[in-house]
Amino acid sequence: MRELSCISFANPFNGESYHIPHPEAIEKGLQYLALADIVLEGSYPPTFLRDRLSTTIDPWGMFLLIPLPLPDDIQQHDTQSLTFWRAVFNITVKNELPPAKPDLAYVQEYFNKHRDIWEEKNWPKVLEVRESSRYRVREAMASTMYKPFGTRGHVLLVGDAAHVHSPVGGQGALL
């Protein structure tokens, strides 16, 4: 509807268009978020809290860990050293886009690169990635929320049609 009404939709901070093709994202070094539901095996840093969200902010960005109950199909295995988490971390695009569905090797590599931040001798192994995705971090706002349309109509933009912002990025409020 925005396009039909000729309402522009751009980043309010730099004027950049909301719809940047992925190849241009590489050139501009844009930010992406990766989200992965993971099973960890072994000990983990005490900052990985099992009763609430854990956040780490470092020079490379942010890392969130949200504890989840073990899935039923894992319960039947040796669960002493297994924990289940939703991990969310940012990726700055350098030479290529992050994978659309980050796999076990990708997530483990991320953990390993950031190991020094948590100063841990024992480090968890990513045993499994149940679900994963990536999306681009972006902000945009419509140039107007209301505009006459044609000779007898009007357009009123609300919600994500009028604006989107990180970390949800127009992915829906119930992410």
DSSP secondary structure, 79-118, as one string: -TTEEEEEEEEEEE-SSSPPPSS--HHHHHHHHHHTHHHH
Question: If you average pLDDT over residues 72-93, what whole number do you get?
Answer: 78
pLDDT higher than threshold 90 for residue 105 = yes
The pLDDT of residue 152? 80
Question: If you average pLDDT over residues 117-136, what whole number do you get?
Answer: 82
User: Taking the CA atoms of the chain, what radius of gyration do you get in angstroms?
Assistant: 20
**Local confidence band at 106 (pLDDT 50, 70, 90 cut-offs):** very high
Question: Looking at 74-78, 102-106, 137-141, 157-161, which range is the least confident one?
Answer: 74-78
DSSP letter for 11, please.
Answer: -
The pLDDT of residue 114? 75
Question: If you average pLDDT over residues 107-135, what whole number do you get?
Answer: 83
d(C-alpha 133, C-alpha 107), whole Å: 11
pLDDT higher than threshold 50 for residue 173 = no
The pLDDT of residue 104? 96
C-alpha distances out from residue 46 to 42, 122, 124, Å: 13, 11, 12
pLDDT higher than threshold 50 for residue 51 = yes
pLDDT higher than threshold 80 for residue 38 = yes
**Residue ranges of E strands in the chain:** 9-10, 31-41, 54-58, 61-68, 82-92, 125-136, 140-142, 146-149, 153-156, 163-164
